[in-house]
A and B are shown apart, each in its own frame.
Chain A
Amino acid sequence: MLRAEGLTKSFSGFRAVNNATLHVKKGEIVAVIGPNGAGKTTLFNLITGILRPDAGKVLFKGEDITGLRPYEVCRKRITRSFQVVNVFSRLTVFENVRVAVLSRERKTWNLFTPATKIATEETARILDSVGLGAKATRVSAALSHGDRKVLEIAVALGGNPEFLILDEPTAGMSPEETSRCIDLIKHLSEQLGLTILFCEHDMELVFAIANRIMVMVRGATIIQGTCEEVRCNQAVQDAYLGGSEAECLM
């Protein structure tokens, strides 16, 4: 469904992403792992059009989407959440998701119908599905960190994605919130059939939900394979664990 080939991006001489390659098949959950600063977020920014790659291509369903603007990428039904909470802070939870739904329904140029009459049911449905229905009227800046991370996902769902990118969905969450988030991601994959690409530091979570794993080190792809393949790969262990005693990860 999505193929990224030879993606490269430098920031004033520093190669954040260096010839990275990624394949995601329809319906899969693919995790990107790697040490801090490996270029995971930059890779996501390249795919979603926030950054333009210096070299390489991104193909989505066979179509070249390299260098499209973020809103054009979104209209191909690729949406994402952000690592650092990045929502509309002065709007309510409900309005946050409504903006995404309005945008997807191409109603953002409507100047005269009250917004309360448009996209309300769809927004309520999304909020219910992620479990934020009860907090719909709160201003999003007043939410707890965990709830804001879930709102991140809800806003991304407002774009009715086929392909969902989650940048460290559980970062900073309590164990309880994390387990709820895992259930949510599984639900999205199993019930709605979304293809999901995410990056995460929590290995337990990665191995619990990912079908395949891509490992990045210093901007480059080391391997992409099933959990088993990745666990026992020597290069991964050298890079990730500094060639330590562990035979397999975990």
Chain B
Amino acid sequence: MVKAKKGVGVAIWIGAILLLLVLPLFIARFYVYMAAIIMLFGLLATSNNFPLGFGGIYQFHHAVFYGVGAYTTAVMVTKFGYPFWVSAIAGPLMSAFISLVMGLICIRLSKLYFGMLQISLGSLIWVIVYRWYSFTGGDDGIHGITLPDVLSSYSGAYYFTLIVTGLCLYCMYRIIKSPYGIVLQGIRDNPVRSEMVGVNVRLHQLLALVIAGFFAGVAGILFVVVDNTVFPDMLFWALSMETIIMCLLGGWLTFMGPMLGAAVIMALRTFVSAYTVYWALVLGIIMVLVIFFLPNGILGWFTGKFSSRTERVEEHEFKNIRPETD
């Protein structure tokens, strides 16, 4: 029974990966672009959810790290002429560094106060990017970033996004299932108790922020690859809100929820924007509906329905170790 259900899960995964691999062969160029955009926003939302859903940290201005990663790469390539690959590695590292610095300041506060301070500091970075015309291109942004030949075709960009997103998700999943991940979830549920079992809560939270910042930076690089541009809206707080809504809609206590949320939001945005300019209004209504009817998000609702599955698997594991303990 357990094995059969697990088998279904594996089959769905293999099917999804195969579908994503052959997708560019069948669909129009615009949809390939959309698929890549969804994946990178899914990565952004998943990295936002890492401190939010698994660490209980109110990561309210996550887009800053996404924008910093993208801008670092864009500026290094266009202003200083560094090779793309070097700049692409520097981008996420810069995001992680900014995340560390902002984290050191914000982590002294908790919950909402943390979130508010993060929005303030993040907006400061946004203003710098928005105003510093000579360096960041101001509100024009930077266009036509030269990419290596492999990435310059739209299918090249798509496959690069697919592989990098897959790798990043795998890494984050491993981290969540690691001892550190379990402890982080303990901190989310109960920081006081965590401290009382010997965990240095702030230091663990800080690491979660740095990890999240790094992967947001990776998502930023992917946007540069897919879209070839950077612009100040990438660091604007509105985007942060949107990624939080992706997390909540998909299911902030699940791992794949934010990716699902990203797919739904990006698809809706594309189609709704064709009919009306009031996309934000639609987004707001979605948010209200989610809070009222799906407090655990779409995927959270599904796993709640079939929760016995995970429970049984764990029970099975537990029985295996029993004989040794007796």
Contacts and interface: CB of A to CB of B under 8 A. Distances in A.
B28 interface: no
Contact of B178 (A89, A91, A103, A115): A115
Interface stretch (B89-97, B179-187, B242-250, B282-290): B179-187
B201 interface: yes
A86 B193 contact: yes
A175 interface: no
14 contacts: A50-B195, A71-B198, A87-B193, A90-B189, A95-B182, A103-B194, A103-B197, A108-B179, A108-B204, A110-B179, A110-B180, A115-B177, A115-B181, A136-B318
B317 A74 contact: no
A79 B314 CA distance: 28
B196 A50 contact: yes
Contacts of B197: 71, 74, 79, 99-100, 103-104, 155-156, 158-159
Interface residues of B, number: 36
Interface of A: 48, 50, 69-71, 74-75, 79-80, 82, 86-92, 94-96, 98-100, 102-104, 107-116, 118-121, 124-125, 128, 136-138, 155-156, 158-159
Contacts of A112: 174-175, 178
Interface of B: 174-175, 177-183, 185-186, 188-190, 192-201, 204, 207, 253, 311, 314-315, 317-318, 321-322, 324-325
Given A103-B198, A113-B179, 15 more contacts: A50-B196, A71-B197, A71-B198, A71-B200, A91-B185, A95-B182, A99-B186, A102-B182, A110-B180, A111-B175, A112-B178, A113-B178, A120-B321, A121-B321, A137-B315
Which of A88, A104, A158 has the most CB atoms of chain B within a 10 A radius of its CB?
A: A88
Q: Which 10 residue pairs spanning A and B have beta carbons closest together? A: A74-B198, A88-B189, A100-B197, A99-B186, A70-B195, A103-B198, A108-B183, A110-B179, A124-B325, A88-B186
A86 B189 CA distance: 9
A156 B197 CA distance: 7
B146 to A, nearest CB: 35
A120 B322 CA distance: 10
Contact of A124 (B180, B185, B207, B321): B321
Nearest to A113: B178
A99 to B, nearest CB: 4
A155 B175 CA distance: 23
A79 B194 CA distance: 11
Contacts of A91: 182, 185-186, 189
Contacts of B325: 121, 124-125, 128
A75 B325 CA distance: 26
A70 B196 contact: yes
Nearest to A125: B325
A86 B318 CA distance: 24
A75 B311 CA distance: 32
B318 to A, nearest CB: 5
Contacts of A116: 177, 317
B57 to A, nearest CB: 15
Contact of B318 (A70, A80, A118, A124): A124
Contacts of A120: 321
Nearest to B194: A99
Nearest to B318: A136
